[in-house]
Amino acid sequence: MSRVFACLALLLTTVPLVAAEPTKKPNIIVIVADDLGYADIGCHGCKDIPTPHIDSLAKNGVRCTNGYVSGPYCSPTRAGLLTGRYQQRFGHELNPGPPSDTTIEVGLSLAEKTMPQRLKSAGYATGMVGKWHLGHAEKFNPVHRGFDEFFGFLGGAHSYVQANQPNNPIMRGLKAVGEKEYLTDAFAREAVAFVDRHRSEPFFLYYAFNAVHTPMQAPDKYKARFEKIADEKRRTYAGMLSAMDDAIGALLEKLRAEKLEENTLIFFISDNGGPENANASDNGPFRGQKAQTWEGGIHVPFIVQWKAKLPAGKTYDQPVMQLDILPTALAACGVALESSDKMDGVNLLPYLDGSRTGAVHHALYWRFGAQMAIRMGDYKLVKAPGGGLEAGPQRQGKADVAGAQLYNLARDIGETTNLAEKEPEKVKELAAAWQKWNSELVDPKWRPNNAAGKKKKKDK
């Protein structure tokens, strides 16, 4: 009998110890594609370019069918992503110029606290692989903005086959380095190596591809997969996208090999819609493209996978935005926001796991030079003049709501039927909300002197 009591006593003393053991913090990975067309991944119905690894994220996670970004252009979206705030609040409304044209003050505001800074303070190893595009001066370098490690380039675009570009080299930390591999393959190598180095501790990896941004360059080994695609530009695009999908697959394979995938929260987005003429991307049912506040410029793939916590194969239809990624990641890691933080993003976890219903945001807002938009429920008020990809005059002007068009996206996702004359009260409601938001913003800190681009062949 005494032996039985001894065993019970031992059990009672060990149970609290087991119960008190802290849950391991999840790893965080944010994957950003560059200029990806909404209709160009398999889980969105693409038929000519298989994307099995991107699709696996949707199969094992939640696909947000109304995913948005807060800017229709590369750098503004990234500024919003890493801060969780509308980038127009701190003047990062437009792209900085090329390295030769920028000043030491052009970059992501040093007054803004970044996602890696927050996670680093919480004990995370932080690394970035890929395209930065948030400032060329040394003080803006990723290693000075919260990342322990950085491999990639600082500018907005880069050759995939030539490392030593003037003013925009491939860098490891603060030093320029050589690179012989196809750049997307090199990014895959570096992402896998980062996970290998930090597999025993919680980590945050910002995996920011420059694919499928121009220049259009793909090795024959990738283009050969698409001999049935007759159009040369589309075939090259397919090769570039296939290389990126393989790079995502290499990362997922590493996570699985290390038994880390279950407790890794993974986000996948594009930084904006595809520039259809420039890279042969396809924005599917949407009107417009990159650099425009039509749906084609701001409505993007948006997938969230966390096997340990989120359902698999679910679609979520409420509008969400890349600004939500930072607060969602912080909530997953148990990192509290500070009282001084003024986040525009929202923690998506209770919405994605089904514990909370209703709209995530009362409204979503855009301002991009002379363009504006607001989505509230199914309605969208938008002012996006026609024009080409660069649309220089649209970025030089100042946005207002005069002449804005109204669409019901639930019935008209292609933005074909302007309802402004039929529903003037709805126009007034959305215009007033946008004007209130706009009054809280600052002017752009810089306005690159970009000429108007070539006209788009179609504005669908």
As a whole number of angstroms, the distance between CA 120 and CA 354 comes to 30
| Percent of the chain's residues with pLDDT above 70 | 89
Residue tagged 């890493």 (tokens):
82
The pLDDT of residue 452 is 32
Residue 180, classified by CB atoms within 10 Å of its CB into exposed (0-12), middle (13-18) or buried (19+), is: exposed
The sign one gets for the Cα dihedral 4, 6, 11, 12 is positive
As a whole number of angstroms, the distance between CA 183 and CA 158 comes to 9
Same domain, 74 and 177: yes
Residue tagged 């701190």 (tokens):
90
Q: pLDDT-derived band of residue 395, with 50, 70 and 90 as boundaries?
A: low
Same domain, 170 and 104: yes
The pLDDT of residue 110 is 97
| Percent of the chain's residues with pLDDT above 90 | 84
Q: pLDDT-derived band of residue 20, with 50, 70 and 90 as boundaries?
A: very low
pLDDT surpasses 90 at 448: no
The pLDDT of residue 457 is 39
**pLDDT, tens only, 307-338:** 999 999 999 999 999 999 999 999 999 999 88
Helix/strand/coil (H/E/C) assignment for every residue in 53-74: HHHHHHHCCEEECCEECCCCCH
As a whole number of angstroms, the distance between CA 433 and CA 417 comes to 22
Q: Which residues contact 209 (CB under 8 A, 6 or more apart)?
A: 31, 32, 33, 34, 130, 131, 184, 187, 244, 247
As a whole number of angstroms, the distance between CA 316 and CA 268 comes to 14
Query: Beta strands 379-383 and 405-408: pairing type?
Result: antiparallel
**pLDDT, tens only, 363-393:** 999 999 999 999 999 999 999 976 544 444 4
Give the chain's domain count. 2
Please state the rounded mean pLDDT for residues 37-61: 99
The pLDDT of residue 41 is 99
* Among candidate residues 318, 352, 386, the one where a domain is terminated: 352
Please state the rounded mean pLDDT for residues 190-209: 99
Q: pLDDT-derived band of residue 397, with 50, 70 and 90 as boundaries?
A: confident
Same domain, 128 and 189: yes
Q: pLDDT-derived band of residue 105, with 50, 70 and 90 as boundaries?
A: confident
pLDDT surpasses 90 at 165: no
Same domain, 140 and 286: yes
As a whole number of angstroms, the distance between CA 407 and CA 360 comes to 20
* CATH number assigned to the domain comprising residue 142: 3.40.720.10
The token pair at 445 is: 């800190």
Question: Which one-letter DSSP state was computed for residue 19?
Answer: H
The pLDDT of residue 230 is 98
Does 88 fall in a domain? yes
Closest CA to 383 of 442, 456, 434: 434
pLDDT surpasses 50 at 17: no
Same domain, 311 and 369: no
The pLDDT of residue 340 is 87
pLDDT surpasses 60 at 158: yes
Same domain, 271 and 382: no
* Among candidate residues 286, 321, 352, the one where a domain is terminated: 352
Same domain, 346 and 374: no
H helical segments located in 88-212? 115-121, 183-197
* Among candidate residues 324, 352, 380, the one where a domain is terminated: 352
As a whole number of angstroms, the distance between CA 421 and CA 380 comes to 14
Same domain, 424 and 283: no
Same domain, 302 and 164: yes
Does 81 fall in a domain? yes
Q: pLDDT-derived band of residue 8, with 50, 70 and 90 as boundaries?
A: very low
Q: Which residues contact 263 (CB under 8 A, 6 or more apart)?
A: 24, 26, 27, 306, 307, 308
As a whole number of angstroms, the distance between CA 135 and CA 141 comes to 7
**Residue ranges making up the domain that contains 269:** 27-352
Does 126 fall in a domain? yes
The pLDDT of residue 192 is 99
As a whole number of angstroms, the distance between CA 329 and CA 184 comes to 26
Q: Which residues contact 415 (CB under 8 A, 6 or more apart)?
A: 286, 287, 288, 294, 295, 380, 382, 405, 407, 409
CA atoms within 13 A on the CB side of 407: 22
The pLDDT of residue 338 is 82
- Mind telling me the catalytic residues? 74, 133
Does 15 fall in a domain? no
As a whole number of angstroms, the distance between CA 177 and CA 290 comes to 31
pLDDT surpasses 90 at 213: yes
Q: In what order do the strands lie in the sheet with 149-153?
A: 175-176, 171-172, 149-153, 125-131, 203-208, 27-33, 264-270, 302-305, 62-64, 314-316
Question: Which one-letter DSSP state was computed for residue 221?
Answer: H
The token pair at 436 is: 């209130």
* CATH number assigned to the domain comprising residue 426: 3.30.1120.10
The pLDDT of residue 450 is 41
Please state the rounded mean pLDDT for residues 172-178: 96
pLDDT surpasses 70 at 396: no
Query: Average model confidence (pLDDT) for the chain?
Result: 92
The pLDDT of residue 394 is 52
Does 12 fall in a domain? no
The pLDDT of residue 101 is 63
> In whole angstroms, what separates CA 270 from the centre of its chain?
5
Instruction: Please give the residue that has the higher pLDDT: either 324 or 102.
Output: 324
Instruction: Give the burial string for 295-333 (b: 16+ CB within 10 Å, else e).
Output: bbbbbbbbbbbbeeebeeeeebebbbbbbbbbbbbbbbb
Please state the rounded mean pLDDT for residues 38-60: 99
Same domain, 185 and 306: yes
pLDDT surpasses 80 at 302: yes
Question: Which one-letter DSSP state was computed for residue 142?
Answer: G
Amino acid at 169: P
**pLDDT, tens only, 241-298:** 999 999 999 999 999 999 999 999 999 999 999 999 999 999 999 999 999 999 999 9
Does 358 fall in a domain? no
Does 265 fall in a domain? yes
Q: Which residues contact 452 (CB under 8 A, 6 or more apart)?
A: 387, 388, 390, 391, 392, 393
The pLDDT of residue 398 is 87
The pLDDT of residue 460 is 40
Same domain, 242 and 137: yes
DSSP codes joined into one string, 362-405: S-EEEEETTEEEEEETTEEEEE-----SS-HHHHHS----TT-E
Same domain, 345 and 373: no
Q: How many CB atoms lie within 10 A of CB 280?
A: 22
The pLDDT of residue 242 is 99
The token pair at 60 is: 């094992």
As a whole number of angstroms, the distance between CA 234 and CA 270 comes to 18
Please state the rounded mean pLDDT for residues 428-456: 79
